[in-house]
Amino acid sequence: MSWPAPPDALWVTSGTAEGETELNAFDNALLNAGIGNLNLIRVSSVIPRGARIVDRPLALPPGTLVPAVYSVQTSDVKGDTISAAVGLGFSRDSHGMIFEHGSGSADSAERVVREMVAAAFARRELELAEVVVRTAEHRVQRVGCALAAVVLWWRDLG
């Protein structure tokens, strides 16, 4: 692999959790989503041409630097419903886009990311072939967090 080769694999995940603080709730949601021992490098929202959704890559060592697009919502209001969503838009013959949003309900967050994906494709004059959405919704007990994420990776790295 020559650098900088664009990622060709996308791993979509989500998680929810409680914690003693918002940061602890976020960390616990990352663990629940299976990405709590990775170092996320927040990136913007372009899916490289040809990249496809895959199952979780094989064991990535703790501390691995991974590019990711993610939405996170936290609250310390008992009874609040919080959600996070990521929406991935794919084109048949070009690159794609990822958008993220958080709101009260998963339905609302999903609706917003679908609209954002459609608008991004229209703005770029790309044909939208497929949309994939992942949401997480959580009812806050003490301090809660909802997280949805897309990890970008390379198939030949496992």
Q: pLDDT tens, 34-45?
A: 999 999 999 999
**Residue 13 forms part of a structural domain:** yes
Average confidence score pLDDT of the chain: 94
Domain count, the chain: 1
Residue 56: band (very low, low, confident or very high) from pLDDT cuts 50, 70, 90: confident
d(CA 18, CA 143): 5
Please check whether residue 22 lies inside any domain of the structure: yes
Please state, in angstroms and rounded to a whole number, the distance separating the CA atoms of residues 120 and 114: 10
Which range marks the domain in which residue 101 is found? Answer: 9-157
Question: Active site residue: 14, 28, 32, 45, which one?
Answer: 45
Percent of the chain predicted with pLDDT > 70: 96
The stretch 4-30 carries a mean pLDDT of 96
Instruction: Say which of 20, 37, 39, 130 is annotated catalytic.
Output: 39
Q: pTM value?
A: 0.93
CATH code of residue 83 = 3.50.20.10
Answer whether residue 77 is part of any domain: yes
Residues 13 and 71: their CA atoms lie apart, in Å, by 11
Percent of the chain with pLDDT over 90: 89
- Is 4 part of any domain? no
pLDDT mean over 122-133: 97
- Is 24 noted as a catalytic residue in this protein? no
Tens of pLDDT, residue by residue over 7-16, are 999 999 999 9
- Inform me whether the pLDDT recorded for 49 exceeds 80: yes
Residues 35-62 have a mean pLDDT of 91
Residue 133 lies in a domain: yes
Q: Is residue 3 part of a domain?
A: no
Closest CA to 28 of 106, 153, 104, 138: 138
Q: Which parts of the chain are beta strand (E)?
A: 9-18, 39-42, 46-47, 52-53, 65-75, 81-90, 96-103, 130-139, 144-153
Q: What pLDDT is recorded for position 58?
A: 66
Residue recorded with tokens 């979780």: 56
Q: Is 45 a catalytic residue?
A: yes
Asked, for residue 47, whether it belongs to a domain, the answer is: yes
Active-site residue 91, yes or no?
A: no
1 is a domain residue: no
- Of 75, 83, 100, 110, the active-site residue reads 100
